[in-house]
Amino acid sequence: MWKLALGFVVFAAAGLFVLKKAGGDVDMGGEKHSVETHGPVEAGHAASAVAPAAAASK
């Protein structure tokens, strides 16, 4: 039983070490589908995305 507990502690410590070295920028909030998660759309990108869609529908 003590081997299981020791293995868990070692595995948890290794995981925390890797997260700290990687910057720890991990979002554990799950999937997000709201508009707030996307960056701001630039005017040039929005216009260029609309133009091919309009041309394809003709």
Q: Is the pLDDT of residue 40 over 90?
A: no
pLDDT given at position 19: 85
Q: Is the pLDDT of residue 1 over 90?
A: yes
pLDDT given at position 52: 61
pLDDT given at position 58: 58
Rounded to two decimals, the pTM is: 0.42
Q: For 5-26, what is the mean pLDDT?
A: 88
Picking from 28, 3, 2, 33, the residue whose alpha carbon sits closest to that of residue 15 is 28
Q: For 28-48, what is the mean pLDDT?
A: 66
Half-sphere exposure of 29 (CA within 13 A, CB side): 7
